Amino acid sequence: MKVLIIDDEQDVRYIVQMSLGRIGQMTVVEAASGEEGIALARSEQPTFILLDMMMPGMDGAAVFRALRALPETAHIPVVFLTAKAMLSEIQRLKDLGAKGVVVKPFDPLTLAREIKAILGV
């Protein structure tokens, strides 16, 4: 499985790299911004995208819409990563068309399992 993590926080990307790469045995590709993420989604064709909601510039929702509008990326499942734990926020993201939502701070040991459950693999 190949995952693209789009998050402006370098440390969070590193934890995801360890959680999903080392423990989950996935290939992890990192993007530090929405623009970089969209470019990598096109070229890398990941199995799924882990997308941070709150980013400076292009935020998660804008990146998600852009990914959906592009024929090469429209099919890639997106799991949102958010620091807002409210149920209403989670529902809002699911309504956007997200495959699932992971709330920060997540458990690094079970993140891979959690995401596989969301993706149904």
Which chain residues interact with other proteins by CB under 8 A?
9, 11-12, 14-15, 18-19, 22-23, 54, 83-86, 104-109
Quote the CA–CA distance of 5 and 76 in Å, as a whole number.
Answer: 13
Rounded to 5, what percent of the chain is helix, strand, coil? Answer: 45, 20, 35
Least separation in angstroms between residue 7's CB and other proteins is 9
Residue 17 or 47: the one with the smaller Cβ distance to other proteins is 17
Which residue in the block uniquely carries the two structure tokens 């370098």? 10
Least separation in angstroms between residue 62's CB and other proteins is 18
Least separation in angstroms between residue 42's CB and other proteins is 27
How large is the greatest C-alpha to C-alpha distance in the chain, in angstroms? 34
